[in-house]
């Protein structure tokens, strides 16, 4: 059975599973639509959180980033996992005890202001649409290659599936669908990694194969060989960093605090019964995430060695294009691999200098890896199903945040307080449908490669939500004027910096032109500092929060909050 048939079967079976779960877990109330009724078990919630978190950026693009960047790619591993420790310790239990549905809900009530709520809604929608652009691009990449349909058709199919279980099931349907999606994506990620580890190093565990010697009997370590190949071909040494210390720090910090400020991640901790369950959920999520994140560096290294030796040949003389393996021709059709025969010798050559004749999109590395290594067809099909599961799971979570921000925070809590529960549910589903259409447009016209787009979303979250939430929990007297001014200043500064260097003047996007040597991917850290400074300056010239609000904050932080915390 060929790859395409197997892909249709495995992907089709996974779609049927997701749809079946959505029908079974259909939301019948706003509480079920927004927070799954608040009764999800911590282990299930941890697994759903992991799936919500491990998006197309984690599954498709992160190992590709590490494969191309080498040591510098470690910033994504450090930032994205470290953020969960921060979230578990500083945010999740307190937000759960507050007992609201959404992040804008918390900000609106904590800062006793509809203006604060509206600013939070705008920030949530801005962050989520930036993030979802990367997910829909991931869907298009997978469909265009493995189902041999154009990217437009692939994105439309992805939109239809997400529409069905988001609009029908809400958070209840999404939660249990994401549990299934985690199982699919983690199995799809580990199987080729284990295969490659055994073939290349003789180790069953990819994590130990990463630091092991090659199985060819040469006694050469995997990373030693990769360093040699990299320097020979004009690339930087794989195990040495090229980024400045300040940029590494800022990117890592932006990803960490961005993780702790992402609304689609935070809302997951409103779905558990008790406050102590929020901590447990964060712990389980970190464990489930670690399975993939500790595998990514080894998979990236295996892929890099295989790709170079496949394109250039073992002797580094270049492979004749007529004898190119099928995976190169298959990915050429998608436009994600391109060959230009500069010296007209009919041979492909990949390098980091003027000799280079290949353009290889980093987003294909995980997806193409099984084909490069000549793994069985069912493994290739499984990876396709995993990539789609990763993209769809996060897309659903993001779209639900957009939906609830519009229906609950903007309409019910602000513009139309008299609407009934049934009307609110209708508006929530309508907002989700509109958001899916807009997300599809971003999938067809993405502003960058998957992980890059996602990194921007983290910067925006770091510069807007994180300071407001932290000050809202740990500073009883912080007032609405300071919080609103800080959010507006932080997200405006960060967005302007990113837009300038990425879209207005991309030719200026070099370390020499960055402020303090901080790249657009790391500017969220500076934006966060701007938020804190502006908020504190405005707070110092305005009145402190009212006494009843300060008492409410004290109650959130009181240790007895390990028990029930009703949602309202």
- Residue 425: helix, strand or coil by DSSP? helix
397-432 per-residue burial string, b: 16 or more CB within 10 A, e: under 16: bbbbbbbbbbbbbbbbbbeeeeeeeeebbebbbebb
**Which stretch of DSSP H or E encloses residue 251?**
helix 245-261
* pLDDT band at 538; cut points 50, 70, 90: very high
Of 89, 104, 219, 162, the closest CA to residue 398 belongs to 162
Of 86-100, 234-248, 273-287, the least confident: 86-100
Tens of pLDDT, residue by residue over 51-61, are 877 777 678 77
Distance CA(553)–CA(546), nearest Å, equals 11
353-382 residue pLDDT tens: 888 999 988 878 888 888 888 888 888 888
Which tokens belong to 548? Answer: 């009843």
For residues 270 and 561, the answer to whether their CB atoms sit within 8 Å is no
Among 76-80, 343-347, 394-398, 445-449, the minimum mean pLDDT is found in 445-449
In sequence order, the β-bridge partners of residue 360 are 337
Asked if residues 447 and 520 have their Cβ atoms less than 8 Å apart, the reply is no
Three-point CA angle 207, 209, 210, nearest 5° = 65
Q: Give CA 545 to chain center in angstroms.
A: 35
Other residues' Cβ atoms within 10 Å of the Cβ of residue 38? 22
Contact 300, 327 (CB under 8 A): no
pLDDT at position 562, please? 47
Is residue 486 very low, low, confident or very high in pLDDT (cuts 50, 70, 90)? very high
- State residue 79's pLDDT score: 84
Rounded to 10 deg, the angle between the 74-86 and 245-261 helix axes is 40
Mean predicted confidence (pLDDT) in 37-52 = 83
Q: 43-52, 166-175, 328-337, 554-563 — which is least confidently predicted?
A: 554-563
Cα-only R_g, the chain: 24
- With cut-offs at 50, 70 and 90, classify the pLDDT of residue 454: low
Q: pLDDT tens, 176-227?
A: 888 888 888 899 899 999 999 999 999 999 999 999 999 988 899 999 999 9
Q: Which pLDDT score is estimated for 393? A: 75
For residue 297, what pLDDT is reported?
A: 93
Region 387-414: what's the mean pLDDT?
80
For residue 486, give the nearest of 462, 506, 510, 514 by alpha carbon. 462
Share of the chain above pLDDT 70, in %: 91
Asked if residues 288 and 186 have their Cβ atoms less than 8 Å apart, the reply is: yes
Q: Does position 560 have pLDDT exceeding 70, yes or no?
A: no
- Measured CA to CA, the distance from residue 404 to residue 399 in angstroms comes to 9
> Which pLDDT value is given to residue 561?
44
pLDDT tens digits along 217-266: 889 999 999 999 999 999 989 998 888 889 999 999 988 888 877 777 77
Domains defined for the chain, CATH in brackets: 3-303+375-561 (1.20.1730.10)
pLDDT in tens, 411-451: 888 788 888 888 888 888 888 888 888 878 877 776 555 55
13-42 pLDDT, tens digit each: 887 887 787 777 666 666 667 666 667 888
Tokens of 132: 């979802």
Q: Is 65 exposed, middle or buried (0-12, 13-18, 19+ CB in 10 A)?
A: buried
Mean residue pLDDT of the chain comes to 83
Per-residue pLDDT tens for 489-537? 998 999 899 888 877 888 898 889 999 999 988 999 999 999 999 999 9
- Looking only at the bridges linking them, the beta strands covering 337-339 and 358-360 are antiparallel
């Amino acid at each position: 059975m060929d790859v395409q048939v197997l892909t249709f079967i495995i992907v089709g079976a996974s779609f049927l599973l997701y749809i079946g779960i959505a029908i079974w877990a259909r939301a019948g109330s706003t509480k079920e639509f927004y927070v799954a009724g608040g009764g999800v078990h911590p282990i299930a919630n941890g697994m759903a959180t992991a799936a919500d978190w491990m998006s197309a950026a984690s599954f498709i693009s992160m190992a590709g980033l590490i494969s191309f960047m080498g040591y510098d790619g470690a910033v994504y591993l450090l930032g994205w996992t470290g953020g969960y420790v921060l979230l578990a310790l500083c945010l999740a239990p307190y937000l759960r005890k507050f007992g609201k549905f959404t992040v804008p809900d918390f900000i609106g009530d904590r800062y006793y202001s509809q203006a604060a709520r509206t600013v939070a809604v705008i920030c949530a929608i801005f962050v989520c649409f930036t993030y979802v652009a990367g997910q829909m691009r991931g869907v298009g990449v997978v469909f265009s290659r493995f189902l041999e349909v154009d990217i437009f058709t692939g994105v439309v199919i992805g939109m239809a599936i997400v529409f069905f279980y988001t609009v029908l099931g809400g958070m209840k349907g999404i939660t249990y669908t994401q549990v299934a999606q985690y199982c699919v994506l983690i199995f799809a990620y580990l199987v080729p990694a284990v295969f490659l580890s055994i073939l290349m190093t003789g180790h069953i565990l990819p994590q130990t194969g990463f630091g092991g010697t090659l199985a060819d009997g040469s006694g050469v370590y995997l990373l030693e060989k990769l360093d040699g190949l990299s320097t020979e071909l004009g690339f930087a040494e794989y195990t040495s960093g090229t980024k400045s210390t300040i940029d590494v720090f800022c990117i890592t910090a932006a990803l960490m605090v961005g993780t702790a400020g992402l609304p689609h991640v935070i809302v997951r901790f409103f779905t558990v019964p008790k406050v102590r369950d929020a901590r447990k959920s964060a712990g389980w999520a970190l464990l489930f995430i670690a399975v993939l994140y500790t595998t990514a560096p080894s998979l990236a290294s295996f892929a890099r060695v295989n790709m170079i030796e496949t394109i250039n040949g073992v002797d580094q003389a270049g492979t004749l294009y007529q004898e190119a393996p099928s995976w190169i021709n298959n990915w050429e059709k998608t436009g994600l691999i391109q060959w230009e025969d500069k010296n007209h010798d009919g041979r492909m050559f990949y390098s980091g200098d003027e000799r280079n004749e290949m353009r290889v999109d980093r987003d294909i590395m995980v997806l193409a890896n099984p084909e490069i290594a000549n793994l069985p067809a069912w493994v290739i099909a499984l990876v396709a199903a995993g990539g789609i599961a990763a993209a769809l799971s996060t897309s659903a979570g993001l779209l639900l945040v957009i939906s609830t921000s519009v229906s609950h925070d903007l309409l019910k809590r602000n513009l139309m307080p008299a609407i009934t529960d049934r009307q609110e549910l209708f508006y929530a589903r309508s907002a989700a449908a509109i958001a899916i259409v807009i997300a599809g447009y971003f999938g067809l016209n993405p502003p960058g490669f998957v992980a890059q787009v996602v990194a921007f979303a983290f910067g925006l979250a770091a510069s807007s939500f994180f300071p407001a939430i932290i000050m809202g929990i740990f500073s009883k007297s912080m007032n609405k004027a300071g919080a609103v001014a800080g959010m507006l200043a932080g997200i405006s500064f960060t967005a302007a910096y990113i837009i300038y260097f990425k879209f207005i003047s991309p030719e200026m996007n070099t370390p020499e032109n960055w402020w303090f040597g901080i790249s657009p991917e790391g500017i969220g850290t500076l934006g966060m500092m701007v938020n804190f400074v502006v908020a504190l300056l405005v707070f110092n010239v305005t009145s402190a929060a009212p006494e009843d609000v300060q008492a409410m904050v004290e109650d959130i932080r009181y240790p007895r909050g390990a028990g029930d915390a009703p949602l309202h």
